[in-house]
Structure 1
């Protein structure tokens, strides 16, 4: 469901995940299920991938609007966020059990899209 962030942007949550040890460890990637991946990068699903890899750089920022460049990767019919994911994990001291949310923000007039990623907080308290 889209909700306005400001008068110029629409915002929609596209992914929420409780992190596992595999999300945090050395692989430096976050698994994205197919329904969410379609929202991140629908063009990756326009053609069948046999032994191909699809990669697209995406504009990400944290909840303070600091740039957090990441890339969408689809390989072997699985999708991941890579690149800056490791930097985000370290900057936010994330661990297994923490919950993250990803929203897509789209400018109403020019259609520019970017993604905002953040750790879930309730009443200013980090949970997870």
Structure 2
């Protein structure tokens, strides 16, 4: 699973139309959100830093919801965009989630353990759990 990191408004129009998971590393306006959804019709989730989530307009949040796009809070720790524009979430993380769930851990316990082990955000772990493990 790959998370496309977008660090400026200018990059939105250059995105691949097939992007499904995007991290916005800038404070997006309503127009930026609309342009993102238009540029990526297969978009399923957008992750933004928690501090930006607090200031994101309700209209933009509702627009994403209407379009069927999940809004996730979180950061991409240790990612260097100059090296790769994608933040890779390895298959071992998905396998670890599956293992924890098959061992009888609750969703809450699984999320808590994975956050400690991987530094992924709670929302992103829940998204992976729903889309990859429980699907």
Tell whether the structures are fold-level matches, with TM greater than 0.5. Answer: no
Task: Report which of the two has the higher share of strand.
Answer: 1
Considering fraction of residues, name the structure with more helix. Answer: 2
Between the two structures, name the one with larger relative contact order (CA 8 Å, sep ≥ 6). Answer: 1
